[in-house]
Structure 1
Amino acid sequence: MSKAFGFTEYGGPQHQTFLDRPVPAPGPGRLQISVRAAGVNPVDWKIRRGLTGKGLELPAVLGVEAAGVVEAVGDGVTGFAVGDQVFGTAATGGYAEHTLLVAGSTARKPAGVSFAQAAALPVAAATGYDGVEHVGLKAGQTLLILGIAGGVGSVAAQIARERGIRVLGTASNANRPFVESLGATQIRYGDGVVDRILLAAPQGVDGILDLVGGADVRAAAETLADRSRLIATSDPGTAAELGGSFVRRSGTGATLAVLAELVADGRLDPHITATYPLARAAEALAEVESGHARGKLILEVS
């Protein structure tokens, strides 16, 4: 049997529990791995609450990204072998001792990248990368990231800066040192945010990557002339209403490989701010669910 952490009913954290399940067998297009690390993301609690739909067979294991060692390969999978160190999208939950990865959304882990760093890449980092790609700015232009201090925003800022794009980001004053460490200019969110954006960028911004939605993006959109350069990851309805669009996700192992090489070269830091053992999975998820987590949280599985 394999230990995992999941939920038995849709709803709040009171439905979370540890589970014992058989080691999942890889079907076509899947890789079975022994998990070494798993990422903790806002989407995890949204799935548990049923906000993304209620089609899972319960009990279900939490977590959508993991890194580990291949133990078995399903039919039709090429390019991977038993013993490979890999990371990717977890098809059967990442908060577990064993899981299945989707082969098409899996990449090999470079030797210079830890399992924890690799596990931080498939969701937040890849979303940040895809968001910068979708906004499509050039060197010298200005990108505003709404909610820059989280896992997606911190990677998006680094990717943009790597391309010579000037980055502004909304965050609390408490997060100002962190935002500046990313090479970005912190803009305090809340009342008067438009004035503060225009003080930093008098001609307005060339693109917005919106990670928060709602009133914040409605206000910030006033500083953007070309609304097609407004790309959202969390509030597609508001983005469309304002003339923007939801982020196009690549979802491929090729994107993950690019990110891993950037980490290996020291050009990208996934900013892992805390690691927890699997036994403390509930605590890690509670921190993310609070909305106050900075950077990336990781579960380490022995």
Structure 2
Amino acid sequence: MKVIEVTRFGGPDVLRAREVHDPVARPGQVVVGVAAADVLSVEAQLRAGWGREWFGAEPPFVPGTGVAGHVLSVGEGVDPSWRGRRVAAMVGGGYAEQALAEVEALVPVPDALPLRDAAALLQVGPAALSLIDAAELKPGARVLVTGAGGGLGLMLVELAAAAGAEVTAMASSTAKRRRAELVGAAHTEQAPRTEQAGQGRFDVVFDGVGGEQGARAFELTAPGGRFFAYGVMAGGPASFDAAEADRRGITVRGMEQVQFTPEEFTLLAERTFNAGITPTIGLAVPLDRAADAHAAIEGRALVGKAVLLATSRAVRYREYGEADVLTVDEVTIPAPGPGQVRIAVKAAAVNALDWKFRKGYMVVPLEGPAGTGIEVSGTIDALGEDVAGWRVGQPVFGRVPTGGLADHVLADPAELLAKPDHLTYEEAAALPVAAETAARTLAELGVEPGRLLIHAVAGGVGLVAAQLARARGVEVVGTAGESHHAFLRDLGVTPVTYGEGWADRVGPVDAVLDASGRGVLADSVRLTGDADKVVTIADPAAGEFGVRFSTGGTDPAPVRDVVESGSVRMPIARVFPLESAADAHRLSEEGHLLGKIVVITEAVVPR
């Protein structure tokens, strides 16, 4: 199995992957197959050599204390029913694909809670609940949270606001302050202002920073208030005059408020997992990018938590059938081979081709679990050998052979494009197939100024084709549901409703692009008077009418041309989280949508 070691004290680059033997559970232990591992700021400090006198860690060692995953095996004396269960646990050496845990340390993870969320909640959740409990907040209480952009700080903001407090979030960056507002902060500040010192504006202060800023936050605690000094981000806890605290009647709690017995921790963790709290995960990267997680923490730009992923989620099916056959599986994170890149997927589009494959229409034998999704956008996560011109972290979009509905997917860089800033990840994921297909079919039709009919003009291909044709001076008429007509008119398209008599409503046309596959070819040939002027991408009966059936290509050049033109709008019909991929497939099958359906893998991550 793979572990991440601190090879020597130093910067993030001292973290290196190494293969070691799989652990074996001893009596009273289990082996947890790690899906995600929590990353703490104190782990970055330990890696750099801080705290040796207290923690005694000497390289080489595997950092990490909080993990979530599945129980793979159990040791002697452990109830075998633990095997296979979803759990979180405090461990030693959590930056690993497998970790040993004492059975008493296991916390069951509810089925509805993603394992990466459980890893992110495991350590900050109990701390946040303990602090909120001790604060005894009353509605209207004035609360200050320093370090409010971190995982614990944001959770305190959310919980305090939910208790009816008026929360001021103190954080170093605009992004962190904006996130704090989203989870409930009434006010945000960058740092304590000197002129406020001693004014005692706050009934409760949660200091997650320590050091000089913590000392200044203490001065803002009102007489009779509560000051919680648990933060050491500045290198140590806040320094303050104990006599001054007594004089002003301020109750002070230190690190003891976030230190627990195993029994206390387990109870608090269970409360956390069942409290409906969604953590802010600002960075989720594979184990082999642990250095990036540490660098993000040290750079103080990270919003919320960082987690390391030992597995990836992928939407797959094992048999042909309705959307119910789709499952979200925990899988090994793929490693790019020579000439490949790995993409950390942010968004993936759903196409008709996806559900047609899933239903078995393409007569492709299943040889194990099959992935779904051929259009993605995200960032390059890893480079294989012989890959030049691309870099890790670069935003990209394009086509993949399959398996795009996943956290990570492998891609041929020749089929990718750099994502421009003016496109969101959702918009970028929606373009590759539609743009390539529209450009190709218009070329096959030899479209020139005249009258073009597009069936399903409100779909992805139809919309791009219509806009490209309009830019060339072509008059476009299209069949679409009436609810989409206003949007189409804004694009300069003349919309026509589906149903009986549609051909009479359209009238003669010079060419037809059928993107619907709804039995419209006979009338389309009649309207043009020439089967060569009709192309379909959706009706397998094309040959019966002498019509060309146009199949897809993977050349990204037409997509690049469409994107660079800046003139094509691609509305997003619906956005689904990865866990709801089956619902996305169902909606795609229903049709009659405006634009494309997109599945996102980071529904709870601020982007």
Matched, 1:298 2:598: yes
1:1-302 mapped onto 2 (5 Å cutoff): 1-138=311-448, 140-198=449-507, 204-238=508-542, 240-247=543-550, 249-262=552-565, 265=566, 267-302=567-602
Q: How far 1:214 sits from its partner (Å)?
A: 5.0
Range that drifts further, 61-70 or 121-130: 121-130
Question: In 1, are the aligned partners of 2:324 and 2:582 still within 8 Å (CA)?
Answer: no
Distance 1:79 1:41 in 2: 30
Q: Residue 293 of structure 1 aligns to which amino acid in structure 2? A: L
Distance 1:56 1:162 in 2: 43
Bigger relative contact order, structure 1 or 2 (CA pairs below 8 A, ≥6 apart): 1
Structure 2 vs 1, CA of residues 168 and 88 (structure 1 numbering), >3 Å: closer, same or farther? same
Q: For residues 181-213 of structure 1, what are the alpha-carbon distances to aligned partners after superposition, in whole Å with 9 as ceiling and x for unaligned?
A: 331111222222222121xxxxx2111101123
Structure 2 vs 1, CA of residues 249 and 4 (structure 1 numbering), >3 Å: closer, same or farther? closer
Q: How far 1:178 sits from its partner (Å)?
A: 2.8
Structure 2 vs 1, CA of residues 281 and 126 (structure 1 numbering), >3 Å: closer, same or farther? same
Structure 2 vs 1, CA of residues 92 and 41 (structure 1 numbering), >3 Å: closer, same or farther? closer
Q: How far 1:43 sits from its partner (Å)?
A: 1.2
Distance 1:90 1:249 in 2: 13
Q: How far 1:47 sits from its partner (Å)?
A: 1.1
Structure 2 vs 1, CA of residues 214 and 299 (structure 1 numbering), >3 Å: closer, same or farther? closer
Distance 2:546 2:394 in 1: 44
Question: In 2, are the aligned partners of 1:91 and 1:99 still within 8 Å (CA)?
Answer: no
Question: In 1, are the aligned partners of 2:467 and 2:568 still within 8 Å (CA)?
Answer: yes
Structure 2 vs 1, CA of residues 236 and 78 (structure 1 numbering), >3 Å: closer, same or farther? farther
Matched residue SS, 1:21: strand
Q: How far 1:35 sits from its partner (Å)?
A: 0.5
Report the TM-score, using the length of structure 2 for normalisation: 0.46
**Contiguous gaps of at least 5 residues in structure 1:** 199-203
Structure 2 vs 1, CA of residues 178 and 58 (structure 1 numbering), >3 Å: closer, same or farther? farther
Report the TM-score, using the length of structure 1 for normalisation: 0.90
Distance 1:271 1:132 in 2: 21
Question: In 2, are the aligned partners of 1:35 and 1:66 still within 8 Å (CA)?
Answer: yes
Q: How far 1:56 sits from its partner (Å)?
A: 4.3
* Higher Cα Rg, which structure: 2
Structure 2 vs 1, CA of residues 229 and 123 (structure 1 numbering), >3 Å: closer, same or farther? same
Q: Residue 205 of structure 1 aligns to which amino acid in structure 2? A: V
Question: In 2, are the aligned partners of 1:131 and 1:248 still within 8 Å (CA)?
Answer: no
Q: For residues 50-76 of structure 1, what are the alpha-carbon distances to aligned partners after superposition, in whole Å with 9 as ceiling and x for unaligned?
A: 112323432122211101111222344
Structure 2 vs 1, CA of residues 194 and 292 (structure 1 numbering), >3 Å: closer, same or farther? closer
Question: In 1, are the aligned partners of 2:317 and 2:327 still within 8 Å (CA)?
Answer: yes
Distance 1:163 1:269 in 2: 16
Question: In 2, are the aligned partners of 1:88 and 1:119 still within 8 Å (CA)?
Answer: yes
Q: Which runs of 4+ in 1 moved over 4 A?
A: none
Distance 2:339 2:327 in 1: 29
Q: Residue 98 of structure 1 aligns to which amino acid in structure 2? A: H
Distance 2:399 2:505 in 1: 38
Matched residue SS, 2:334: coil
% same residue: 38
Q: How far 1:98 sits from its partner (Å)?
A: 0.5
Distance 2:518 2:343 in 1: 39
Across the two proteins, how many residue pairs are aligned to each other?
A: 292
Structure 2 vs 1, CA of residues 56 and 68 (structure 1 numbering), >3 Å: closer, same or farther? farther
Question: In 2, are the aligned partners of 1:210 and 1:230 still within 8 Å (CA)?
Answer: yes
Matched residue SS, 2:441: helix
Distance 2:347 2:590 in 1: 22
Distance 2:538 2:342 in 1: 30
Structure 2 vs 1, CA of residues 179 and 17 (structure 1 numbering), >3 Å: closer, same or farther? same
Question: In 1, are the aligned partners of 2:456 and 2:462 still within 8 Å (CA)?
Answer: yes
What RMSD, in angstroms, separates the aligned Cα atoms of the two structures? 1.9
Question: In 2, are the aligned partners of 1:207 and 1:229 still within 8 Å (CA)?
Answer: yes
Q: How far 1:9 sits from its partner (Å)?
A: 1.2
Distance 2:402 2:456 in 1: 29
Question: In 2, are the aligned partners of 1:189 and 1:216 still within 8 Å (CA)?
Answer: no
Structure 2 vs 1, CA of residues 80 and 53 (structure 1 numbering), >3 Å: closer, same or farther? farther
Q: Residue 470 of structure 2 aligns to which amino acid in structure 1? A: R
Matched residue SS, 1:104: helix
